[in-house]
Chain A
Amino acid sequence: MKSVTFIFLALLAITVLLVLTPLVMILYASFTNIQPGLVGAVTTENYVRIFQQGSLISDAEETFLISIGAVVFSLAIGVPLAWLVAQTDIPHTKFLEGAIFSTIVVPPFYVGISWIFLFANGGLLPTFTKFLFDRPIALDVFSLTAVILAEGLSGAAVIFLFSLVTLKSIDSSLLEAAMICGANQSTIARKIVIPLLQPTILLGVILVFVRTVEDFGTPALLGSGKIFTLATAMYFSLSSQSFTGIPRYGVSAAIGIFLLLIIILPLVLGRRIVYRGGRSFYLVSGKGSKIRRKNLRAFRYVAFLAALIYVLFSSVLVFGATLIRSFYVFVGGPVTLSNYDALIDVPLITRSIVNSIILAVAGAGLTMLFGLGLSYVSHRTNVRGRSLLDILGAVPTIIPGLVLGLGALWFWSFTPLLSSLIAVIVTVMIRFLPYSLNTLAASFDSIDISLDEAGRVIGASLPTTFRKITAPLMRNGFIYGYSILYGYFMIELATPLFLAGATTEVMPVVAYIYTIDGFYGEASAIVMVNMLMILPVILFLWRQRKSALLATPISV
């Protein structure tokens, strides 16, 4: 057997094991009534139970309501913002692009936490308004509207990203030609701009929808026991809101299966719509077409202010409110650094910081290296069946973090690695494998294969060709992908939530627990440190905004 074929088969086997095992395990879990790590009789009782409880339908309804609300809100903000930045003379476009791009790695969960610190009863706003006006002004952040707004704000950055790429690539000559032919602005928008935007926006919409459906942290925090999505129902069926003596992992798994189905459906439908009739799309770049920007006159400053307000709510307030809150044990009390003392004094927190660093540094590196192996075989060899690697590698896109976490918990329960950091790292690796493949595929596609072939012709082996030719050319792409993954690994909450054991907690999980338990001071200090750790990624994204689209798991 040729060595390339052997490597392909080995990679295929590992990918199958990594990607499909959690799915098989959660399916198995949903048909049993036992604890993880045990083998028991198959039963449909869990499905019967969730249907009998009647909450499944209402949880699914709220999941749809929040997700659709978030999509609409993110479209309402993201597309106009992209248009303003790409096609008008709004000032400081580079600043706005960078600022909005960089919010893509600020999780909606942290937006929710900062709103609690800022607007909720006992928060900064009501306390200071009470001090100033003797009447506290609090906003109802524990509401459906707040959940939709937090998710939508985060989703707007994704829609902005997808829309901007297309809007920037529209050749002005197309629009001018339409104008010469007598088309008015509305006709141009309807006949040219919207059709060109449609595929990218649709993919952005799918991504926002999927992210919102699977998001756990935001509805868990802002839902406050009143609003349940499928993701929160899945977790809370095991935790404090339904103490039953023995945790019903089977029930949680059965809810997870429904969550999975809800995500698969729009993904499949969306891709069918976008690629109907065998259509395919390419990002047009490098032509240097001049964009004739629309003159907004005085409105440009109003538009700039509106864009600033978005940046303010999606990132500045998140950082600002969290930073201020981190200096109080209770708002209105003395300013103190004691919350930061806890980062060192409380082993749980110290450990979570160390674990998060290991997870992000090692996990992102391993994911990129594994993705590199898959991409190389898929894009640089002619082994039969190599496209299977791409297909399997993309499967985690449809697996919600909580579902993956619970499936992995079952898998690891059969091994001695349960409650080890290795289990957490490998599981989060699976989660972000599609991101790595997307970035690396773009890198491979940008390097002409004839360069490799030239190397082989002059007698270089495959490894030498890779080392001397391909690797140096794709170094930037690799670094870019690694940086993005480092950020995502650092802020991931859902996947490690089920897996976090006595010594494997990570910062977002600890921040979530502290917030739920009302230890806002320590929680804000943890969030601050976590955000400081992703600050380099935010700045990097700011600078590298042209290729920020690769920070998503879906390729255009």
Chain B
Amino acid sequence: MNSSQYKALLVVVTLLAVAGFSTAGYIAYTAPAASSSSGGSTSAFLSALIKNATAEGQVTVYAPYTPAQVQALASAFQQAYPKITVNGIPYDTATLLNKWSSEVSSGKGIADIIIGGATATYYAGLQTHSEMFFPSPEYQYYPYIPYGTDNGWWGPTPIVQVFAYNTNELKGSQIPTGFSDLAAKVQANPAFWNGKIAVVDPRQDFASFAVLYSWLDRYGNSTFWNWIATYAKDGMVAVSSDGALLQGIASGQYLVGFAPYFGDVFSYIEQGAPVGIIYPSEGAVVGVGGFAISSVAPHPYAAELFMNWLLSKAGQLALAKDAGAFISFRTDISSSDMAAVVGFTPPTFSYSSSNAWPPLLNGTQVTPLPETPLQQQAMIGYQSEFASQFTQAMTGTPPS
């Protein structure tokens, strides 16, 4: 081969490698046998794990849930393993990931395990990883996990970002079905909606940026910014967090807001707040709530036991009950199992073709968060421009 043929071969190999890496997120996972790593049966593997974890006595969990949710999860775990204390650290996703990466990079770990949020979505493809791979025996129940085994990140539960509305103020046809419908309603009766629409400020909250970016990516700049500008013209309010948005909706200050995590919305509903949930017709944004054990975990066995418990049926139902993760990728959990735990029939995922991601939510299409490393890099690179465009759109004029 001459040099140009070598170059061509190099380009092809590089493209194939990039393509392979980019699609790694979609490869169905074949669970490793727990026995192969432990050298014995699953029960022997677990017994040894429990013994080692109990000797460590504690586990520090980073979780972008509400403090109450983290505590409820910790209590549920401690019911099963009373000799292990759980230190739950409930910050926002990006803060936790920054802390996490800093610890992994410096080799000085505080966290043992990180769970929930869109952690896997944001993180899995971005960096060179040194998370610890844990061959849980529970993985056999997760044939459709949309992440590979190469980096130690696992996504057993989806996260779903939705619209929320005030059930006292909006009834029947007043309830918007999504972006387009809301824009039409605002144009038809601007006075009614003035100052009553809220959005989690994407300039302030990375998760909100990622969610809004997903819609922009799917529907294009023009359509997306026209929606935002239409609402902004009539006084849409940008708030600092999901919590602030739901507080405003519960107290009646806002009639509708986007796009909180559906688990947070349900926690308000559970507390009796007049809050309802809308799965927008443009597709709720769906990502993957990831789990990972730190390679510098101070309590690695306790972390493995915690992860194993979270992946178990009991753990997944506890996640549903306590942290609003009403959908599980675990195959032996049915809708009725979930309904029995949470008190209502939650939405379900189905797959249009075998193992295809993203799935359908209640039979309708969803809007996936950027999944592959290339998509994520594009999203990160767009962050500052998005902030400028959002600022422009908030004046009521869509950015050009």
- Interface residues of A, Cβ cutoff 8 Å to B: 34-38, 121-122, 126-127, 130, 136, 138, 224-226, 238-247, 249, 329-334, 342, 345-349, 413, 418-419, 501-503, 513-514, 516-520, 522
27 CB contacts below 8 A, A to B, read: A35-B106, A37-B107, A38-B105, A121-B239, A122-B251, A136-B253, A224-B201, A224-B204, A225-B204, A225-B240, A238-B98, A240-B205, A240-B206, A242-B206, A246-B101, A330-B271, A330-B273, A333-B250, A346-B71, A347-B74, A413-B108, A501-B110, A514-B67, A516-B92, A516-B241, A518-B242, A519-B67
Contact of A518 among B122, B203, B244 (CB under 8 A): B244
Q: Does B343 contact A (CB under 8 A)?
A: no
Closest to B245 in A: A518
Judge whether A246 and B127 touch: CB under 8 Å: yes
Please indicate the chain B residues that have their CB under 8 angstroms from the CB of A35 in the complex: 102, 105-106
* Residue in contact with A37 in the complex, picked from B97, B108, B195, CB distance below 8 Å: B108
Roughly how many angstroms separate A34 CA and B101 CA in the complex, as a whole number?
Answer: 12
Can you list, as one digit per residue, whether each of B59-93 has a CB less than 8 Å from chain A (1) or not (0)? 01000001110110010000000000001111111
Beyond A127-B252, A520-B244, 18 additional pairs, beta carbon < 8 A = A37-B107, A122-B253, A122-B254, A126-B253, A224-B204, A243-B93, A243-B98, A243-B380, A244-B98, A245-B127, A330-B268, A346-B67, A348-B89, A413-B106, A502-B87, A502-B89, A518-B240, A520-B247
What residues of B have a CB within 8 angstroms of the CB of A516 in the complex? Answer: 92, 240-241
Query: Given known contacts A330-B247, A331-B247, A518-B244, is B126 in contact with A245 (CB within 8 Å)?
Result: yes
What residues of B have a CB within 8 angstroms of the CB of A122 in the complex? 244, 247-248, 250-251, 253-254
Q: Which chain A residues border B339 with CB–CB below 8 Å? A: none
Chain A min CB distance to B105 (Å): 4
User: With A122-B248, A503-B87, A520-B247 given, is the CB distance from A247 to B98 under 8 Å?
Assistant: yes
Nearest Cβ in chain B — how far from A337, in angstroms? 14
Q: How far is the CA of A136 from the CA of B169 in the complex (A)?
A: 14
Task: Looking at the assembled complex, report how far the CB atom of A155 sits from the nearest CB atom of chain B, in whole angstroms.
Answer: 25
Contact of B271 among A127, A331, A333 (CB under 8 A): A333
Chain B's nearest CB lies how many Å from the CB of A282?
49
Inter-chain contacts of B336 with A (CB < 8 A)? none
Name the interface residues of B323-350: CB closer than 8 Å to any CB of A. none
Q: Would you call B246 an interface residue if the criterion is a C-beta within 8 Å of the partner chain's C-beta atoms? A: yes
Residues A121 and B122 in contact, CB atoms below 8 Å apart: no
Q: Which residue of B lies closest to A38 (CB)?
A: B106
Tell yes or no: B133 within 8 A of A by CB. Answer: no
Give the complex CA separation of A139 and B383 in angstroms: 30
**A355 CB, min distance to chain B CBs, angstroms:** 13
Q: Mark B95-129, 1 if CB is under 8 A from A, else 0.
A: 10111011001111011000000000011001100
* Contact A330–B251 (Cβ < 8 Å): yes
Among A332, A346, A517, A522, contact of B92 (Cβ-Cβ < 8 Å): A517
Assess A333 versus B272: contact at CB under 8 Å? Given A347-B88, A519-B67: yes
Name B203's contact: one of A37, A226, A349, A413 (CB within 8 Å): A226
User: Which residues of chain A come closer than 8 Å to B132, judged between CB atoms?
Assistant: none
With known contacts A247-B101, A518-B242, A518-B244, A127–B251 Cβ distance under 8 A: yes
Residues of B within 8 A of A331 (CB): 247, 250-251
Cβ-defined contact, B110 with A502, below 8 A: yes
How many angstroms from the CA of A514 to the CA of B205 in the assembled complex? 14
B374 within 8 Å of A (CB atoms): no
* Complex A-B, nearest 3 residue pairs according to Cβ-Cβ distance, in ascending order: A518-B243, A225-B204, A122-B248
Q: B residues within 8 A CB of A34?
A: 105
Question: Across the two chains, which residue of chain B brings its CB closest to A116?
Answer: B244
- Roughly how many angstroms separate A121 CA and B94 CA in the complex, as a whole number? 26
B366 near A: Cβ within 8 Å?
Answer: no
What residues on A are CB-neighbors of B380 within 8 Å? Answer: 243-245
Which A residues lie within 8 Å of B271 (CB)?
329-330, 333
Q: Nearest Cβ distance between residue A199 and chain B, in whole angstroms? A: 42
Q: Which residue of A lies closest to B101 (CB)?
A: A246
**B122:A243 contact, CB within 8 angstroms:** yes
Q: Contact at A347–B206, with CB atoms within 8 Å?
A: no
- How far is B268's CA from A169's CA once the two chains are assembled, in angstroms? 58
Contacts of A226 in B (CB 8 A): 203
Given known pairs A224-B204, A239-B98, A240-B92, the reply for A37 and B253 (CB within 8 Å) is: no
Contact residues in A for B105 (Cβ distance below 8 Å): 34-35, 38, 246
Which of A419, A513, A518 has a CB less than 8 Å from the CB of B110?
A: A419
Interface size of B by CB at 8 A reads: 62
Counted as pairs of residues, one from A and one from B, with CB atoms less than 8 Å apart, the total is 169
A271 to B141, CA, bound (A): 71
In the assembled complex, the Cα of A225 lies from the Cα of B250 at a distance in Å of 23
B98 near A37 (CB under 8 angstroms)? no
Q: Mark B175-197, 1 if CB is under 8 A from A, else 0.
A: 00000000000000000000100
Provide the residues of chain B in CB contact with A242, threshold 8 Å.
206, 383
Chain B 198-214 interface 0/1 with A at a Cβ cutoff of 8 Å (1 = within): 10010111110000000
Q: Give the residue name and chain of the B residue nearest to A244 (CB).
A: B380
Which B residues lie within 8 Å of A37 (CB)?
Answer: 106-108
Q: Do B102 and A246 touch (CB < 8 A)?
A: yes
Contact A245 B89 (CB under 8 A): no
Q: Give the residues in chain A near B207, CB-CB below 8 Å.
A: 240
Q: State the CA gap A420–B242 with chains docked (Å).
A: 31
Which B residue's beta carbon lies closest to that of A504?
A: B110
Q: Does B305 belong to the interface (CB within 8 Å)?
A: no
Using A240-B205, A347-B71, A518-B241 as known contacts, say yes or no to A36 and B102 having CB atoms under 8 A apart.
Answer: yes
Q: Using a CB-CB cutoff of 8 Å, which residues 25-73 of chain B contact chain A?
A: 60, 66-68, 70-71
A487 to B154 CA separation, bound complex (whole angstroms):
46
Min CB gap A127→B, angstroms? 5
Which residues does chain A contribute within 8 Å of B99, judged by CB atoms?
A: 247
List chain A residues, Cβ under 8 A from B302. Answer: none
Please, how many angstroms separate the alpha-carbon atoms of A413 and B110 in the complex?
Answer: 12
Pick from B97, B238, B272: contact of A243, CB under 8 Å: B97
Does A342 contact B243, Cβ atoms closer than 8 Å? no
A240 and B242 contact, CB distance less than 8 A: no
| Chain A residues, Cβ within 8 Å of B201 | 224-225
Closest A residue, CB atoms, query B242: A518
Given the interface pairs A239-B94, A241-B203, A518-B242, the reply to whether A332 lies near B101 with Cβ below 8 Å is no
Most buried by A among B68, B240, B246: B240
Q: Which residues of B contact A127 (CB under 8 A)?
A: 251-253
Instruction: Indicate whether B237 reaches chain A with its CB closer than 8 angstroms.
Output: yes
A502 B68 Cβ-Cβ under 8 A: no
Please name all residues of chain B whose beta carbon is closer than 8 Å to the beta carbon of A136 when the two chains form the complex: 252-253
Bound state CA distance, A121 and B249, in angstroms? 10
Complex CA gap A197/B130 in Å reads 62
A517 to B127, CA, bound (A): 27
Chain A residue numbers with a CB within 8 Å of B101 are 245-247
A517 contacts across to B, CB distance below 8 A: 66, 92, 241-243
Assess whether B203 is in contact with A522, with CB atoms less than 8 Å apart.
Answer: no
Shortest CB–CB separation between residue B372 and chain A, in angstroms? 15
A333 partner residues in chain B, CB cutoff 8 A: 250-251, 271-273
Bitwise interface map of B from 208 to 239 toward A, beta carbon under 8 Å scored 1, else 0: 00000000000000000000000000000111
Question: Which of B93, B127, B206, B242 neighbours the largest number of chain A CB atoms within 10 Å of its CB?
Answer: B206
How distant is B117 from chain A, measured CB to nearest CB, in Å? 11
Task: Decide if A121 touches B248 in the complex (CB within 8 Å).
Answer: yes
In-complex Cβ contact of A348 among B67, B122, B123, B244 (8 A): B67
Q: Are B60's CB and A502's CB within 8 A?
A: yes
B204 touches A342 (CB 8 A): no
By beta carbon, the residue of chain B nearest A247 is B98
Assembled-state Cα–Cα distance A403/B245 (Å): 32
Query: In the complex the two chains form, is B94's CB within 8 Å of A518's CB?
Result: no
CB neighbours of B239 from chain A (8 A): 121, 518
Q: What is the chain A residue whose CB lies nearest that of B100?
A: A247
